[in-house]
Amino acid sequence: MKKISEELGKIELGVSGNNTYTGVIRADEFLPQIRGKRAINKFREMRDNDSTIGAVMYATEQVLRDVKFTVKPANDTPAAKGMADFVESVLGDMEHTLDDHISEALSFLTFGFSLFEVVYKRRKGPLTSNPKKNSKYNDGYIGVRKLASRAQWTVDRFDVDQKTGDTLGVLQEMNIGTKSNYIPIQKLLHYRTTNLNNDPSGRSILRNAFSSYTYLNSMQSIEAIAIERELHGIPIGRIAAEYLSPDATADQASLRNQMEKILRDLKFNEQGYALLPSDVYTDNDGKPTNVRIMDIELITSNGTRNIDIDPVIRRYQHDIARSVMAEFLMLGSGTNGSYALSKSKTDLFLRSMESYINSIFDVINKQLVEPLWQLNGFNYDLMPKIVAGDVAPHDLREIASFLRNLNGAGIDVSSHPEVIQDLMDIAELNYDPNVGNQTQQGAE
């Protein structure tokens, strides 16, 4: 086997995907109705119109926006802890809260990606009115003024290096009277659900629910029409044959058109009525018959093979919830369900939530903290890391049982203050290890 040269090893020869080099949103998608900007419109429709998807997205946002985070120093030195305090000060010195930013960033779950332009500022204290310098701090460092959201439907396409497939920037739609906006990738926070094919537009978590959503909409429309027809009936009108003839006079055609309008608009509401002449036809002897000159009748369904659409609609709703691992939302809507089943499905959903919030903080660490270090000329050995807290709640009874098992095995955790601190944090109790040490020393 021939040894690879250093020069050849540094060259990128392959490509990530077949069409991603074009920068078109979801360029590799095989369904045309969810390719390009049509995908953004369709996923936005799914999120805003479907009750199941809306519930999942609302639950996700409310769970993740309040997840606690910590800024972990690079080491235990005072300098490293000072740099961690600097990052905390940057996150607390923006024009918006980090919770609000996370709430907006979670739109990448719906669309596959979300973009935020990083607007920096020089920290010159609170006395200046210049927003480019106004800050709680007056240390002269470069901080962050805001993380400005760039809505997905304003993105025209991504600027992609056609040779390597790397994302270079984003082109926004051209507004009336202005040129198109170009934002380089160095000034962006770029969240995406997956790096598959290195597609800058990622992959919406609603992609697998698209077929179910389409059929669900169709079934709901059919159900609404069926209920309306069952309640109202199908209006049938009767009129003399001469009025329907192509040789009908203008007055006859006008009457026929008015009759058609009545049949089309006839409904059971405050304006629904039909006003018809009560005259009847006469026989050959001139005597009146029982047949009216004009008549309207409502035909209702008399069959016994009506299909119950509700189970079909529920099945598609379950499919949508299952595709985003939120099937637990549907428990209780039927006759089946148990606590164990609910807990396992909820735990799986919360695990997926943890991966989402971790991916958000990974982007913040890579695309926000690292550029701040470069702009300020800080030592990279002292660069801290932002870590997300737990999403899933902890069962204190299970933890207590685990601690009893450790105690029974002769393992004493009281000599590990970091373990005690974690346990107290889980129980949401204030704990000062110094107080415990002083009490113990006084007893001795």
Confidence bin at 269 (pLDDT 50/70/90): low
Express each pLDDT in 383-424 by its tens digit.
Answer: 999 999 888 766 777 777 877 887 788 787 777 777 777 777
User: Could you tell me the pTM of the whole model?
Assistant: 0.74
The Cα–Cα gap between 242 and 330 comes to: 58
pLDDT in tens, 226-251: 776 666 667 777 787 788 888 889 98
Triad 3, 6, 8: Cα angle to 5°: 80
Q: Do β-strands 188-192 and 113-122 pair in parallel, antiparallel, or remain unpaired?
A: antiparallel
Q: DSSP secondary-structure letter at 369?
A: I
Per-residue pLDDT tens over the stretch 85-139: 999 999 999 999 999 999 999 999 999 999 999 999 999 999 888 989 999 999 9
Residues in the chain: 444
Around Cβ 23, how many Cβ atoms within 10 Å? 24
| pLDDT higher than threshold 90 for residue 186 | yes
pLDDT of residue 306: 60
